Structure 1
Amino acid sequence: MALSHLEELNKALTWYKRAEKLSENNPLLLFNMAVAYDKLERYDEALRYYVALLNNADAPISVKEKKRVGDRISVLRMFVARQEDGSIMTQKKTTQPKGM
């Protein structure tokens, strides 16, 4: 990932965190934070926000979107579990889960 893109994601997260203090259960904010963390390969944090989004009863997302988010949660949970077990190779290309 290009450095400039990473910097933009980090800047976005700075603003998202500020917004979260004002509206912590905003579905769009939860989704944007999950995706940003996911792209930054900070999968534990991405999981936290994807799960929060699905648990948010006010989230205006379709059944199809819920399934996609749920599928991503499943992939990331498996990936994180394997990482914690040390069963994933350390090379960058082999450690990234397939994206959304």
Structure 2
Amino acid sequence: MKRIVIALALLLPLWVVADGDHERAKALFESGEILPLEEILKNVRAEYPGRLLEIKLEQKKKSVIYEVELLDEQGKVWELKLDAVTGELLKREQDD
């Protein structure tokens, strides 16, 4: 399974935004409700070097969260959840 994920990661563009998230993120950013994606990614890359696989934007009842999936330099896939308003790392877990 890990080989499949790594193989797919090599075929993906630098990052992929789920359908509809781009427009929603743009609207939330323009209204000043969330940080720009560039700032979130700059901080993620500084702490977690590797290849970005996917970015999703989740809007919950009282919060907006970026889910960032990346492949680290050791070939491990990580999922990070960050507060889109503050940039704070809320959760980090390794995918199997």
Q: Under a length normalisation based on structure 2, what TM-score does the superposition of the two structures give? A: 0.29
Structure whose CA Rg is larger = 1
Q: Which has the higher helix share?
A: 1
